[in-house]
Every structure is written in structure tokens, then in C-alpha cells.
Amino acid sequence: MNTTTETKEPKQTEELAVLETRALFVPHEQFPVMQRELAEMLPEIQAEIALADAQMVNNQQDAEMAGVLLDKLADRVKLVKSKTKPFTQIADKLHKWLTRYQGGYVSPSEASYEALKARRNKWEIRVRQETERKQAEAQAEADRKTREKQAAIQREIERKEQEAASAKRTQTAEKRKQEIEELKERQAAIVPDVIHYEAPKPTGGPKSTMRWHAEVTDMRSFLEAAVKDHTLHGYIEVKTTAMQMNKSRNTSMLIPGIRFYQDLH
């Protein structure tokens, strides 16, 4: 007698996902009960809020009544949260499970995306820097040629000025002055070419934008500059939370320009 052993295939991931997700909603039949309890509670909640909103605090008796109402509001919040907690816990568990489930598929792709994007950005920065370097060199050469042309005309102007000063005839001197004015106009018209190189940009994928970043390298130097330049004050962050914590430890602490005060919470 031949017997065959039946091998059960493991359940697919999608099936497990459905089963696990459904398991998270096991107490769903209790949800209408919770809704009904909260609905019945609503008039009491509204009445307590109305009393609290109308309560003024002008004397000892008012303050004591306010204390009673505050306790009622706090107890009501605790009660509502205790009613909804089982369902918020289910939602939290479901969110965590789905996030992990999604991450199994998404995280590797996102990591690969960011790594490849970083490599391409490094290449683009190198290309832009090289383009800027070439543009600066070409612009410097254009500026140099312009200065040479202007200097040549300046030497001609100076020569004409000497001729005009030493000319014995008035007509010759006037002619030289006219030539000098023409040379000055030519000199003023000579301006350097504006060199602009466009760095190649890759197509496809996310569009990149060059952004400036700032980091502190010498805080003392920055603060000394801020003392002299008031426009820098907007870049200084005053950590009042840390000051408050230190003030609670040392009530005698004073800081110029800072006002400490107390209130009740």
C-alpha cells in the first residue's frame, strides 16, 4: 500500500497580512458599546464645560468652586480616555504593523534611491565647480585684455596731452585736445565681455537645487561681530527654556537683558 505524504505549502505573505490585520480588529464588536456610552455621557460633558466656562474667579469661594470644576473636567477626560483606550491601542498596533510591513518593501528602495541621488549630486557639484573655475579664468582673461586696451589708449592720451602742452600753435593744441576727447570716448566704450558658462545638468530623476549652508566655526568671533553689527542679532537664538531650568535651580540667577517671571500651571 503506497502512502503519500501531503506537504502543505506555507501561507503566502499576503494571506498572513490579511489574517494578522483582521486579528487586530477582534474587539470591533465592542466599539458600538463605547459609542453609546459616550453619547449618553455627552449632556454631562456639555454641562460641565458650560459651568467651567461661566465660572469667574474673584474671591476665595470662587477659587474653591473652580477647583471642584477642574477636578470634574480632569476626571471626565480620564474617563473618556479609558473608554477609548482599547481602540486607540488597536489603531497604534495596526499602524506599527503596517509601517513595518510597508518598510520591508519600501526601505531598500528608499536607501538605494538616496545613495544613488547622493552620488549623482556629488558629480553635479564637481561639474558645477569646474564650470565656475573655467568661467572665472575666462572672465579674468577678458578683463585683462580690456585693461590692456584701455592702458594703450591711456598712453596715447598722455602723449597727445604732452603734444598739446608743448604745441607752439594754438591750432595744433586745439587739434590735439579734440583728439584726446575722441580717445577718451573710445576708452570709455571699451568694456570687458561678460563670460558665462552653463554647467551641464542631468535629465531624469529629481531636480537638484544648489543651496547654501552655514555652520559655526568660531562662536566668539561671531558674537563679537554681532556686538558691532545689529543686523546679526536676528541670527542669535536665545535658549529661554534652558534659562528657566537654571533659574528654578538657582533663584538668584540674573542675566542682563532677560526678565524672569513666574506663573502657575
pLDDT tens digit sequence for 79-126: 999 999 988 887 787 788 888 889 999 999 999 999 999 999 999 999
CB 183 within 8 A of CB 149: no
Average pLDDT over residues 125-148: 94
Helix (H) or strand (E) holding 227: helix 219-228
CB 24 within 8 A of CB 97: yes
Rounded to an integer, what is the distance from CA 129 to the centroid of its chain?
24
Q: Looking at the domain assignment, is residue 222 inside a domain? A: no
Of 117, 118, 127, 187, the C-alpha closest to 156 is: 187
- Grade residue 144 by pLDDT with cuts at 50, 70 and 90: very high
Task: Write the pLDDT tens digit of every residue in 17-58.
Answer: 555 555 555 556 778 888 899 999 999 999 999 999 999 999
Q: Looking at the domain assignment, is residue 85 inside a domain? A: yes
Average pLDDT over residues 132-157: 94
Q: Looking at the domain assignment, is residue 104 inside a domain? A: yes
Q: Looking at the domain assignment, is residue 227 inside a domain? A: no
Number of domains in the chain: 1
- Judged by DSSP in three states, 168 sits in coil
Domain membership of residue 38 as a residue range? 13-121
Q: Looking at the domain assignment, is residue 49 inside a domain? A: yes
Q: Looking at the domain assignment, is residue 50 inside a domain? A: yes
CB 87 within 8 A of CB 31: yes
C-alpha to C-alpha distance for 220 and 214, rounded to whole angstroms: 16
* Predicted confidence (pLDDT) at residue 15 exceeds the cutoff of 70: no
C-alpha cell recorded at residue 46: 456639555
Considering 171-180, 188-197, 242-251, the range whose residues carry the highest mean pLDDT is 242-251
Of 191, 180, 177, the C-alpha closest to 149 is: 191
